[in-house]
Amino acid sequence: MAIMIPEAPRDYDPLSLEGEMFNALRNLPIDYYVIHSFKNVFVEDNVLHEGEADFVIFNPSFGIICVEAKAGHVKYQGGCWKYASDKVMKHGGPYNQASQNKWDLLTRIQNSPLKDLQYRCKLLHAVWFPSISEKELSSNRFPPEFDRHITMTMEALEDPKKYIDSIFKIELENNIQTNLSENDTKRLIREIICPEFDIFPSSSFDVDLKNITFNRLLEEQKVLLNYLVEQKSAVINGAAGTGKTMIAVEKATRHANQGDKVLFLCFNAYLREHLEEKYSNNNIDFMTIDGFACKICKTSKADYKQASDKIVDMYLTGSFPYKHVIVDEGQDFGKDEIEESDLLQAIHDTVVDNDEVDGTFYVFYDKLQLIQANAIPSYIADADCKLTLYKNCRNTENIALTSLKPITERTPKLYEGAIKGVPATIHFCDNEEGAQNCVSKLIEDLKTEGISDVVILTCNTETDSILASRATEGKYKKKLFTTCRKFKGLEADAIVMVDVDETTFDEENVLRYYVGASRARVRLEIVTLMNDNACTRVLNEKIKYSKKIKKPMRELAYALNALPSIESNEVQ
């Protein structure tokens, strides 16, 4: 899929069909960037130039196309382009407007530090009539600025790539060919394309850019599946943020698209619901291990041993309904009851060791997120084919460091050009009321900054949390409120972590902190009631802080690669 900027279309008139065009362009390959509602404003020779292209399509190998879209009834009369209402179109009609947008973009490049790219990047323009068929177009006469080669019609909604690639193949009079390096591409996006969006508030730019980069890196990570085509069974390890779940979904989708039935097992009910909602496919069944056990045994409570016996029966009779099985967050399946039942081994043998099935069994796991079980499951420890994903593509650099600080001294491996991001903040509060008010204010502040995807995670249970008295039905101030354990495998633009205390950094609990903190993509806010004495004990006993402690709260924050904020207890 193409990289869409933004990920969803801007506000538009439904009659313009820009939503349909946006969705069609989304199906372009990953090396296409599609910018919707590109606004270009600049001053040249003391003259203000303002332009807006409906779509700008950029491919690092081919160049840039500025597309003007005109839906509905259009006509050309008396030397003027008009709408159905006889209102004259601005800018001399769609072709002149698209051409002007192209020249304005070229001027922007010429006036920038990237001016040499004008000789190494093709710029073209086109017009898209999504309401008019090719047949209707060919039966009309158009003004001189029209050319069929730079015109797209209704048919492009079904397969835009064919038409766009045809436009990219048009030769320019100056014989310019696109020849951009990887660095040229990055700078063109960051310095020319993205900064020109009027509607991108600077406060949320990191969120948008993070999502763009995340999609690109995931495509790179997915390449490993191409090398495992012949591998029937494999376990793939990766720290939080390396894209394990997305790669697991890609693996499932590839099989599903070939008509094979796929069982996708996870431990977390929230994760199952998210996957079912976002990646629903008739050939993929997303289930928790408990839900799967209940389904095949037709019971209301999971009995892993009974389920294992049932799988063995299915193996013998050839009635197991799935050809491929994918296990996500596999480290969680090491609970004693599951291990002793040999349920996962039975499933593995049914799809891998049965020549008639000729299936696959893949497990994705993170050895650092062992919070549902006490040990790595044997089917992971004993696997023949093991791979590791190293690059974190979810978190900003600062958040990745803060999540790892209490459990390891190693530096997280991030992708080239990773966003450094805003450091996490630890908010030190005196009492529960102060902490509750702090969380409420954080939600409002994040909203003001353009961040609405906010989740609140407790390192305890919901009932033991400082927010328990104000939370209702899993919500706090209309934001999801749950535990770090339950939210494992999911993520949000901003995470507010509460109930971080001395015990959070105990050996048996610290992985919850890691899981919770690593869910944050661009913002991490930590709210705690720890005082100077508690902070001192954590520094000395848990983090092994070697320096002389003068200001415990501040030094604990700095030790975790975070900023301190000493909160007052004013009632909000």
- What angle (nearest 5°) sits at the alpha carbon of residue 181, between those of residues 178 and 184? 90
Percent of the chain with pLDDT strictly greater than 70: 88
For residue 6, whether the previous peptide bond is cis, meaning omega lies within 30 degrees of 0, is yes
Better pLDDT: 292 or 419: 292
**DSSP letter for each residue of 239-273:** -TTS-HHHHHHHHHHHHHHTT--EEEEES-HHHHH
* Strands 360-365 and 324-327, sheet pairing: parallel
H/E stretch holding 349 reads helix 343-352
Residue 230 has pLDDT above 90, yes or no: no
Rounded average pLDDT over 60-67: 96
- Output the average pLDDT for the chain: 86
Does position 568 have pLDDT exceeding 80, yes or no?
no
Threshold 0.85, pTM exceeds = no
Residue scoring higher pLDDT (13 or 482): 482
What is the DSSP track for 381-438?
A: HT-S-EEEE--B-SS-HHHHHHHHTTT--SPPPB-TT----PPEEEEE-SSHHHHHHH
* Residue 468 pLDDT: 95
Q: What is the pLDDT of residue 449?
A: 85
Q: What is the pLDDT of residue 365?
A: 86
Fold type of domain 223-389: Rossmann fold (3.40.50)
B/e letters for 236-256, b = 16+ CB within 10 Å, e = fewer, are bbbbbbbbbbbbbbbbbbbbb
Compute the distance between CA of residue 285 and CA of residue 277 in angstroms, rounded to an integer: 12
pLDDT over 80 at 371, yes or no: no
Report pLDDT digits (tens) over 247-302. 899 999 999 999 999 999 998 899 999 999 999 999 999 999 999 999 999 999 99
Domain residue extents for the chain:
3-200, 223-389, 397-566
Residue 14 pLDDT > 60: yes
pLDDT digits (tens, 9 = 90+) for 373-415: 455 666 677 777 888 887 777 788 899 999 989 887 766 666 5
**pLDDT at 303 > cutoff 90:** yes
Indicate the range of 32-46, 192-206, 438-452 predicted with least confidence: 192-206
Q: What is the pLDDT of residue 200?
A: 36
CATH topology of domain 397-566: Rossmann fold (3.40.50)
